[in-house]
Structure 1
Amino acid sequence: MTKALYFDCFSGISGDMTLGALLDLGLSLDELRRELAKLNLSGWKIAARQEMRGYISGTRALVDAPEQHHHRHLADIRLIIESSTLSERVKAQSMHIFRLLADAEAKVHGLSPDEVHFHEVGALDAIIDIVGTAIGLELLEIDEVFASPLPLGSGWIQAAHGWLPLPAPATLNLLAEAGAPTVPDTLRTELVTPTGAAILAALATFERPSLRLQGVGYGLGMRELERPNVLRVWLGERLPPEGEERPEEHHHHHHHR
């Protein structure tokens, strides 16, 4: 049976909301820390806290990773990930996410992906969010990832180099590259961050699958908005869509014709 995870992004998605949702689903914080320790990086901590957003209780992932002074490039991140003792699957997924993020940021600034300074992105907290997500999916034994349409707010955000229009340009580039479905949202706030967009662009199919549900997790966003600022994930066994043969039987017939 295929284990699938559906990202129900009614209030968008960020890296820490993703980690919070996986922890809420039952990912062990100790196991997550033990795997993250395989990155040869110091200066970060991760904790989890039960909190409320609106009337909904869930898990907030608290990643404590102070701004560092040396800005990393994609090559630095590749070195950190490749030289770790993490599994091949976690390394590949993490690098895929970072690669898409670098491409999207590069396009915003008119640079090549290798020239991009990861101030927003190669900041230590993004490394923990992204590699932590790949680790969480592996520990929860998720085979496939799906996602809902993404709500996009408007307004402005203060970034490292000044003001940027929302959705952030890098976020929009990532969603365009992935052909992601988007829906307008009246909130004048950032609902989908570049890290959140990169995780889905790299790993998700944008549709709601048929699932036999086994669990639900709520990952809390940092801010309290006028609606519950949470990311909901549905965990379940993938069911074949109504009226379709099982894919296994399908292949089976073809081989013997």
Structure 2
Amino acid sequence: MKTLYFDCVSGASGDMIIGSLLDLGTDPLYLKEELSKLGIDSEYEITIKKVNKNGITATKFDVLLKDHAHLHHHDHEHEHIHDESQMEHGHPHDHHEPAGGNVQSVHDHSHTDRHHHHSHEGHGHSHDKHHEPHSLTEVSHSHSHSHQTYSSIKRMIESSALLEEVKSLSIAIFQKIAEAEGKIHGVPVEKVHFHEVGAVDSIIDIVGTAILVCSIKPDKIYASPVPVGSGKIAIDHGLYPVPAPATLEILRGVPIEESNVRFELTTPTGAAIIAVLAERFGSIPSITVDTVGYGAGNKTFPSHPNVIRSIIGHSN
């Protein structure tokens, strides 16, 4: 029996999760080809490289969002310091880090995770993926951008040529986020709006994760308790506690691990992916380990490596 285990060493974000799955040895070209089935290639590019986090070599997954003549680099990582409007503008990705190798540069317009953390490292706007806007959504109904609401994102995924299992998993993760945001903002799930930039980020992170997980074909998926960080984050509405309301709502029923790190370690997208995928939470199960992958965030913490670790193992 094949088991996939997510060891949330430093929380979870969409970009970090994809980075760890690619580090396991999954095919980045296959990921790019499958993501192209969404028909939004013109809106983003993907970069994949090796970086070093506190002595651990990890894969950093980045999405470069194309905004007219500018490329918005969405770096994913753990640290919310921007106001909600910034966060929702796709500034929470911490995928950028000057250090690290230039392993692969896959020009693929795909990426998703709404950490909108402005980190001016690398090219363009570096979004801390581990910093997804506390709210990946916005309640405003005045936007007419494509694939912005939960309903439109769901339709886009359903009408694509992706595998059915990838579609259903992707929609389940998006629904988890939309239900949490809808409850917090007091709006129907179908009317929950994802910010234009955040939507592209989230689509790539969530659908990309579903593509890679389905390619691994695990029989069981488990995860460790999830550290969420501590402190407060500044958004338009004032100072909000960590974890952000949406993240905490998404993690209902999921064991949270105490952390003294004063940053937002787990984003709504990361929380939703883990909450939907993992059927059990605890320490590493009894398995014979086959492969191990590390996905990097953008921040560097003195006390621990800013990574998530994915493990594939088997048992009788």
User: TM-score, normalization: structure 1?
Assistant: 0.86
Partner amino acid, structure 2, of 1:210: S
Task: Give yes or no for contact 2:228–2:258 (8 Å, CA) kept in 1.
Answer: yes
Please give the alpha-carbon distance, in whole angstroms, between the structure 1 residues aligned to 2:6 and 2:256.
14
Partner in structure 1 of residue 32 of structure 2: 33
What secondary structure is seen at the aligned counterpart in 2 of 1:84?
coil
Please give the alpha-carbon distance, in whole angstroms, between the structure 1 residues aligned to 2:14 and 2:262.
20
Please give the alpha-carbon distance, in whole angstroms, between the structure 2 residues aligned to 1:33 and 1:151.
30
Partner in structure 2 of residue 183 of structure 1: 257
Unaligned runs of 5+ in 1: 240-257
Q: Percent identity?
A: 47
Partner in structure 2 of residue 4 of structure 1: 3
1:111 aligns with 2:187: yes
Task: Give yes or no for contact 2:9–2:305 (8 Å, CA) kept in 1.
Answer: no
Partner in structure 2 of residue 156 of structure 1: 232
RMSD between aligned alpha carbons? Answer: 1.9
Paired positions, count: 236
With over 3 angstroms needed to count, the CA separation of the structure-2 counterparts of 1:98 and 1:161, relative to structure 1, is farther
Partner in structure 2 of residue 250 of structure 1: none
TM-fit CA distance, 1:159: 4.6
What secondary structure is seen at the aligned counterpart in 1 of 2:191?
coil
Equivalences for residues 112-131 of structure 1 within 5 A:
112-119=188-195, 123-131=199-207
Task: Give yes or no for contact 1:64–1:125 (8 Å, CA) kept in 2.
Answer: no
What secondary structure is seen at the aligned counterpart in 2 of 1:114?
helix
Please give the alpha-carbon distance, in whole angstroms, between the structure 1 residues aligned to 2:155 and 2:237.
26
Partner amino acid, structure 2, of 1:202: V
1:50-82 CA distance string (max 9 Å, x none): 001111111000112245972711111011100
Please give the alpha-carbon distance, in whole angstroms, between the structure 2 residues aligned to 1:163 and 1:27.
40
With over 3 angstroms needed to count, the CA separation of the structure-2 counterparts of 1:160 and 1:80, relative to structure 1, is farther
Task: Give yes or no for contact 2:58–2:296 (8 Å, CA) kept in 1.
Answer: yes
TM-fit CA distance, 1:15: 0.2
Partner amino acid, structure 2, of 1:223: K
Please give the alpha-carbon distance, in whole angstroms, between the structure 1 residues aligned to 2:293 and 2:235.
30
Please give the alpha-carbon distance, in whole angstroms, between the structure 2 residues aligned to 1:210 and 1:164.
39
Task: Give yes or no for contact 1:157–1:165 (8 Å, CA) kept in 2.
Answer: yes
Q: Which has the higher helix share?
A: 1
Task: Give yes or no for contact 2:31–2:212 (8 Å, CA) kept in 1.
Answer: yes
